[in-house]
Amino acid sequence: MKFPFVRPLLATLLLAAGVAHAADDEAKVKKNLESFLNAPAVDSVKKTSYGGLFEVVLKSGELLYTDGNVSFIIDGSIIDAKSRKNITQARMLQLMKIDFASLPLDQAIKQVRGNGKRVIASFEDPNCGYCKRLAKDLQSLKDATVYTFLYPILSPDSTEKSKNIWCAKDKAAAWNDWMVGGKAPAAAAAGCDTSAIDKNVALGQKIKVTGTPTIFTADGNRLPGAVPLAQLEQAMNQAGTK
């Protein structure tokens, strides 16, 4: 007598066993690596399909590799010799992506240029020299909507300036006056709600924004630093519109 359901059932059981075994291995790697680091620093562990390695993502955003026994740790890029693809770089770009639609855009300064169809969001400190260079470059950007999240991480003065800009009657004008023209914003009026600044700092920390400017395109990809305008234009065009 034949039982046609036996093979699919057996395959399912073997698959489940394999998944459970992999989870056990990943848990073991996490435990041993955190013991080595002497801190609960591991965010995730994943068995890779190359070299018997495990990919380890730290809570700091760093990417490491190790074997099942954590007998060695690789801190660097892995290159696929056949395709010449930088596996680590590609993975980091994937890990650093965000859900653009989840950004609280009401906490950002909004500027619309032309038809505004292309969209970016940037996290910037008002005392950041690279942010000032970006602000000047963005004056030439066409057909785009720019959301600037005030992200004061450099000094107490950065926080003060951010609050003053946020409390200005015309936030975009106050931002550009300072970043492009060097005109300091007027002091914030008493009672102005500046809670958005604190929320931005918490948000930036959550999505691992460690420097300014950090730009996100509409597809969630991250561009760290004041990238050249041509590179930004290319990234925006590839991202499409939101």
pTM value?
0.78
Say what the pLDDT of residue 89 is.
87
Vertex 200, ends 43 and 96: CA angle to 5°? 35
Whole-angstrom CA distances from 153 to 108, 123, 126, 202, 241 are 16, 10, 9, 11, 30
Q: Express each pLDDT in 180-216 by its tens digit.
A: 999 999 999 999 999 999 999 999 999 999 999 999 9
Say what the pLDDT of residue 187 is.
95
Write out residues in the chain with pLDDT < 50, as ranges.
1-3, 5-7, 9-20
Sheet bearing 109-113, strands edge to edge: 109-113, 144-150, 118-124, 214-217, 222-224
Q: Where are the beta strands (DSSP E) in the chain?
A: 42-47, 54-58, 63-66, 73-74, 109-113, 118-124, 144-150, 214-217, 222-224
Say what the pLDDT of residue 94 is.
86
Q: Which amino acid is at 10?
A: L
Say what the pLDDT of residue 15 is.
46
The three-state secondary structure class of 44 is strand
User: Where on the phi/psi map is residue 188: left (φ > 0), alpha (ψ -120 to 50), or beta?
Assistant: beta
